[in-house]
Amino acid sequence: MTLDFDEGDELRALRAAVADLGSRYGQSYFLEQARSGGSTDALWREAGKAGFLGVNLPEEYGGGGGMVELSLVCEELGAAGCGLLMMVVSPAICGTVIARFGTEEQKQRWLPGLADGSSIMAFAITEPDAGSNSHEITTTARRDGDEWVLTGRKTWISGVDLADAVLVVGRLADGPKGTLRPALFVVPTDAPGLTAQPIPMEIVSPERQFSVFLDDVRLPADALVGSPESGIAQLFAGLNPERVMAAAFSLGVARLAMRKATDYARERTVWGTPIGAHQGLAHPLAACQIEIELARLMTQKAAWLIDRGRDAEAGLAANSAKYAAAEAAARTVDQAVQTHGGAGLAQEYGVGALLVASRLSRIAPVSREMILSFVAQHDLKLPRSY
């Protein structure tokens, strides 16, 4: 079998179509919505109508591609300056979990809407006292007759104000503490007992973060997705795509910053010479470009493995892609600001607005340190450090 690094005509056409859509909105639209308290609903709806949002979902429910295609859409929108964070959550995490483990009724109920963007689903796993240690999740679900009763608290949950429902990761009340046996529930955002409180953020984005409180939320029996007996597999079926989409999001940020930096370096002239001719600027930008291309290759590999159901390999690749893309984004944005000098912090150029987003990429949805621990343990076979 030979390796083929040619994306092919279909993927190139998809890239071009998404890039065209993104260019009609762009960073100015995104920042205006963020700073005015607005939303990117118009872009979301148009992307949904074009079939971009849920391209990873099964064709019979409105999709027709895979994670390769969805990550490409995310990257191109980000490179245009209007990345949609909820793409990481709604179709990639929640859509994937329901498509793989949901009942036919659940698939019919949710997947067509997630595919065309008419429905949005948030995802809730992180807790204040558990952080990245999912084994310490305390959100519990207990049976009460034919219903589930869900109690707990989640934090850093994206887009609850936009969502119709939240896919909540909890544990069964009779399960042993300290052992991860996750149970996943679809919780409507208007369910009695569910409340959400926004978290003030420094990041310039119209998509907000929330703390979510679940106070004896009653759910029907069919709110449970899949089986707790295979909860680990279900959970990582969503988390691996999350890593890939986070990588694609970071790639978009990095490419946007690189475009701004190189445009400025070609146009800005000092003493009759474009500043891009100076190796003190050219070499760091070239090094960042190499990092971007390496991260893109790893992201494509991870998406390819997910699409082929090679979950064990996909886990390592997805974590590596997320790490590489986050590092590339952080360094590229930093160099883009340096290339602009003082102008890099002026709103006119839109570079400074990328600083917090690029720094966040090293933290969420999983920190670089947790990825390094994962790779050390699973790839290098080193003793577990925690």
Average of per-residue pLDDT values in the chain: 95
| Residue range 229-254: mean pLDDT, rounded | 92
Measuring CA to CA, how many Å separate 346 from each of 25, 263, 341?
21, 16, 10
pLDDT one-digit tens code per residue, 293-345: 999 999 999 999 999 999 989 999 999 999 999 999 999 999 999 999 999 99
Please report, for residues 97, 123, 310, 379, the alpha-carbon distance to residue 372 in angstroms, rounded to integers and kept in the order given.
25, 24, 21, 10
DSSP secondary structure string for all residues of 116-166? HTSS-EEEE---TTTTT-GGG---EEEEETTEEEEEEEEEEEETTTT-SEE
Q: Which of 162, 299, 186, 171 is nearest to 241 (CA)?
A: 299
pLDDT band of residue 9 (cuts 50, 70, 90) is very high
| pLDDT > 80? residue 175 | no
Provide the token pair at 182.
């996750």
Q: Which residues are catalytically annotated?
A: 242
Give the model's confidence band at 228: pLDDT under 50 very low, under 70 low, under 90 confident, else very high: confident
List of domains in the chain: 8-119 (1.10.540.10), 122-226 (2.40.110.10), 231-378 (1.20.140.10)
User: Average pLDDT, stretch 249-262?
Assistant: 98
Q: Find the mean pLDDT for residues 95-121.
A: 97
Q: In this model, does residue 266 exceed pLDDT 70? A: yes
62 or 131, which is more confident = 62
235 pLDDT band, cuts 50/70/90, is confident
What average pLDDT does range 118-132 have in this prediction? 91
In this structure, the number of other CB atoms found within 10 A of the CB of residue 294 comes to 15
Q: In the predicted model, is pLDDT for residue 259 greater than 60?
A: yes
Residue 221 has pLDDT above 60, yes or no: yes
pLDDT at 229 over 80: no
Say what the pLDDT of residue 298 is.
Answer: 98
Where does the pLDDT of residue 262 fall: very low under 50, low under 70, confident under 90, or very high at 90 and above?
Answer: very high
Instruction: Give the residue-averaged pLDDT of 210-225.
Output: 97
DSSP code, position 204: -
**Model confidence at 3, in pLDDT bands (50, 70, 90)?**
confident
The arithmetic mean of pLDDT across residues 199-203, rounded, is: 95
Higher pLDDT, 315 or 173: 315
Q: Taking residues 119-141, what's their average pLDDT? A: 88
Contact 212, 154 (CB under 8 A): yes
CB atoms within 10 A of CB 22: 26
Assign 386 a pLDDT band (cuts: 50, 70, 90): confident
Contacts of 363 (CB under 8 A, 6+ apart): none
| Number of helices and strands in the chain (H, E) | 12, 10
Task: Look up residue 284 and give its two tokens.
Answer: 């760091």
pLDDT at 168: 97
Cα distances (angstroms) measured from residue 109 to each of 70, 186, 320: 21, 11, 34
Query: Residue 181: what pLDDT?
Result: 73
Percent of the chain with pLDDT over 90: 90
If phi > 0 it is left, if psi is from -120 to 50 it is alpha, else beta; for residue 360 that is alpha
Q: What integer pLDDT is reported at residue 116 of this predicted model? A: 97
What is the band of 176 on the pLDDT scale with cuts at 50, 70, 90?
Answer: low
- Least Cα distance to 75 among 250, 279, 311, 287 occurs for 250
How confident is the model over 371-383, as a mean pLDDT?
A: 96
- DSSP tag of 308: T
Whether 178 shows a pLDDT value over 60: the answer reads: no
How confident is the model over 41-67, as a mean pLDDT? Answer: 97
Tell me the C-alpha distance between 350 and 31, whole Å.
Answer: 8
Q: From CA 299, how far away is CA 379, in angstroms rounded? A: 17
pLDDT for 236 equals 86
pLDDT band at 214 (very low <50, low <70, confident <90, very high): very high
